[in-house]
Structure 1
Amino acid sequence: MPPNGTSKPLKLQFGLVNHESQYLTAETFGFKVNASATTMKKKQLWTLEHGDQEGNVVFLRSSLGRYLSTNKDGDVNCELEVPNNSCRFLLIAQSDGRWALQSEPFLRFLGGSSDRVTCFAQTSGEAELWAIHLAHHPQASLLSASRKRYARLSASETEISFISNIPWGVGSLITLVFMAGKYCLKTCDNRFLSSSGNLVNEFGPDTEYTLVLRSSMLAFKDNDGKYLTPTGPTGTLKSGKCTKPAKDELFDLEESRPQVVFVGANKRFVSTRQGVSISANQDEETDLETFQMEIDQESKKYMFRTKDGNYWELVSHGGLQSTATEIGINTMFEIEWRGHRIAMKASNGKYVCTKKNGQLHAVSDTVGEDELFVMKLINRPILILRGENGFVCHHKTSNTLDNNRSVYDIFWLLFSDGAYHIKSGNGKYWFINTNTDTVGADGDNPEEFFLEFLEHGRMGIKSKGSGKYVRSDQGGTIKCDVTSPDITCLWEF
């Protein structure tokens, strides 16, 4: 269990991309292997398992739980449920971040494209080099293995520091950007981390890193062969002196859960600053007015966690306090999505209201002005969306959006009184084309969308104008034409 007790390290899955930008694929029929896919979906996902303590020998396990193997003739398949000697590969990292995978028993290299994937080359050329493309959502919390602290943008906003016991607030959001086989680290304000530890606005050679895997942990190697490491009393993240990663250079990625602030009917922020009682009585938003929203997978009910690790809890007489240390029936709430506002219902079947003194009580049978709250998502100022078919990107030749890509575009999320404007990198805005129901990305005027957090890690996006939900069709086109959200309307964020 990580120090904050709210998340766990992400299971590292990745795609292997060849020199023709095609992904190594394990087919479900006949356990065949090819490199024909241009996008990363389930069949293109691989998990690395280490075969020795040094981490040089690895096994590659497919999404079907089968292991990649080869024979003396260079034939490749992926059918073994338990790895044997034929599944052992030597992982040889290249200076440009790509991998060469050499069969340990036969000393031949894995390579090829389309339907012709073999392990017969005696040397590793372009066809035998594979780029690593991490499969999980690229926005996460970054935990130092040695310091047991989380990365966050420093108070001076000049560096990334490892000073947080918990990943709290917008400053703890780290975005991994995959570019030309390497990775960049971005802060919540969209700046790149350079190897010197400075934050810069533009991508360059000093902002790109080779990704190195050590068991389930990551290390980042700069173009000089040095590794990122926390340095000094505040753990400033920059390149150190080491050319081989040890514990100081290793990091865990953890899921970044949505964190929100609430404003009651009295126009004041909900807070725990006054003690254990939950009250809308503050005029500014700080860590004490920030709550982590967690969704129960089975019931789809919501829990709200404080910076101290306690949950909102319904107590006697309908009051709400931040006293619960474990999840139970009285820590779960229902949310009704009402456009610019939300209403919350506690386990007693009553709606939460704001009293005249600011305290929150679940005592109302119906929803009026006192039972409505503004909820603002604070830790996604920059937004990356992944749907059922892949990441969201601008279409190559039109103003619309695609949802069948392995790469992603970054959007800006701008809050507007309970709604949001979604801004593209070109400075234009998302809008709904009323003739085709497609979502455009170059509107001159911002349109309002509502975000509804419907499942763990996934949200619905609803147009204020049409009242319909944004979805992805089978061809990857993004439309806004569904009145009741289904799986095509769920967006990982």
Structure 2
Amino acid sequence: MACQFGLLSSSGKYLTSDFDGKISVSPLDASVNKLIKGQLWSLESDSNDQQVQSEDDSQIYALYSTNGHYLSVDKSGKVTADAEEIGEEQRFEVDAGSGGNGAWVIRSVAHDTYMGIKSKKVLCKMRESSSSDQRWYVRLSIHPHCCLLSVKAEKFAHVPQSGRYLTFDATVPWRSDTLLQLKYSEGYGCFKTATGRYITREGNFVPSLIPDCLFVLQVTGDQIDLKDYKGLYMSVNTRGRLLCTTCKDRASFTLKPSYPHVTFHTKVKGTWMKLFAKEGKFWSKL
């Protein structure tokens, strides 16, 4: 399943599609305090599009709404979400964080215009992307308490009790040392451990938030890439350590929900049995 997210404008409201295809920006529903249907989007690649990633890390996608239609732009700059298939007017170039502010910039490929807010309306008729009105900030649709999985290594991020570095060496996301909190700051994402420390781009732990802890969240299908504020991507070396690298050698990650855990201690043998639930099933580990 593709990763779903909300797009937060500089005005503090989310890109929203109505059932009739109208596009607007609206705040979170105060009664549920989370993104609702119509505020959730995902990126889809056009199967007929052979364009590869450009030198500035931007890629061509279609934006798919949870209302079942694709975002579209006509020649007048009007933005709607009523297309059932991907065509020229549904293709967008998504530039994630290259402006040094953690934001996405979204350009219509068909009309070479940028999507933004003008007079409280969502339009795609601006030729320049320098204004803050053309910036969109990603908010992933996932509970902030999650586990970070390295797709290639097939290991979860783990905070060693006595170690100084985050390592990807956990096969099962068990206990609080694999639990991370996804937070947002200045348009960027950041990760906080259960011990209250932040993770830097080199996998170190620091007590307070610094620029080295800020990541651009670049969504690709059901995975995310992490890019630091300097434009370098995160990867995982053979020892399971985070490192900074180029776009070509980047690693992809998946955020997994943190499942409920309980721990039992047997009086007979004096051993601990660890029990956790996943998708309605219980698993144990001694």
Would you say same fold, with TM above 0.5? yes
Assess, with a 3 A threshold, how the Cα gap between structure 1 residues 181 and 149 changes in structure 2: closer, same or farther.
same
Distance 2:176 2:269 in 1: 19
- How far residue 245 of structure 1 moved from its aligned partner, in angstroms, is 5.1
TM-score, length-scaled by structure 1: 0.52
CA offset digits 1:92-142 (Å, max 9, x no partner): 223212111111111111111575111111111211111111111122221
- How far residue 259 of structure 1 moved from its aligned partner, in angstroms, is 1.2
- Partner of 1:171, secondary structure, is helix
TM-score, length-scaled by structure 2: 0.86
Q: Is 1:105 matched with 2:110? A: yes
Match of 1:49 among 31, 44, 48: 44
Q: Which residue of 2 aligns with 1:65?
A: 68
| Contact 1:26/1:43 (8 A) holds in 2 | yes
**Alpha-carbon RMSD:** 2.1
Q: Is 1:33 matched with 2:17? A: no
Q: Which residue of 1 aligns with 2:275?
A: 291
Match of 2:84 among 54, 61, 81: 81
| Contact 2:117/2:134 (8 A) holds in 1 | yes
Q: Is 1:119 matched with 2:124? A: yes
Task: Report the more deviating stretch, 158-167 or 108-117.
Answer: 108-117
Q: Which residue of 2 aligns with 1:255?
A: 257
Q: How many residues align?
A: 270
Unmatched tracts of structure 2, length 5 or more: 30-34, 54-58
Distance 2:195 2:219 in 1: 27
Match of 2:183 among 177, 182, 186: 177
Q: Which residue of 2 aligns with 1:228?
A: 234
Q: Is 1:15 matched with 2:3? A: no
Task: Report the more deviating stretch, 110-119 or 145-154.
Answer: 110-119
Distance 1:293 1:216 in 2: 22
Higher relative contact order (CA 8 A, sep 6+): 2
Q: Is 1:163 matched with 2:169? A: yes
Assess, with a 3 A threshold, how the Cα gap between structure 1 residues 295 and 223 changes in structure 2: closer, same or farther.
closer
CA offset digits 1:233-255 (Å, max 9, x no partner): 2x122x32x23154x52111222
- Partner of 1:249, secondary structure, is coil
- Partner of 2:115, secondary structure, is strand
Assess, with a 3 A threshold, how the Cα gap between structure 1 residues 158 and 20 changes in structure 2: closer, same or farther.
same
| Contact 1:59/1:89 (8 A) holds in 2 | yes
- How far residue 188 of structure 1 moved from its aligned partner, in angstroms, is 2.1
**Could you tell me the percent identity over the aligned residues?**
29
| Contact 1:133/1:181 (8 A) holds in 2 | no
Distance 2:278 2:225 in 1: 29
Distance 1:187 1:216 in 2: 23
- How far residue 13 of structure 1 moved from its aligned partner, in angstroms, is 0.9
Q: List structure 1 runs of 4+ shifted beyond 6 angstroms.
A: none
Unmatched tracts of structure 1, length 5 or more: 1-9, 263-268, 271-279, 297-302, 309-493
CA offset digits 1:24-75 (Å, max 9, x no partner): 11012x2100113255322211111123463611111111111100111111
- Partner of 2:112, secondary structure, is coil
- Partner of 1:290, secondary structure, is strand
- Partner of 2:38, secondary structure, is helix
Match of 2:139 among 133, 138, 150: 133
Assess, with a 3 A threshold, how the Cα gap between structure 1 residues 71 and 132 changes in structure 2: closer, same or farther.
same
Distance 2:207 2:175 in 1: 22
CA offset digits 1:302-351 (Å, max 9, x no partner): x421138xxxxxxxxxxxxxxxxxxxxxxxxxxxxxxxxxxxxxxxxxxx
CA offset digits 1:216-274 (Å, max 9, x no partner): 211211122222222352x122x32x23154x521112222111113xxxxxx14xxxx
Distance 1:197 1:19 in 2: 30
Distance 1:12 1:195 in 2: 23
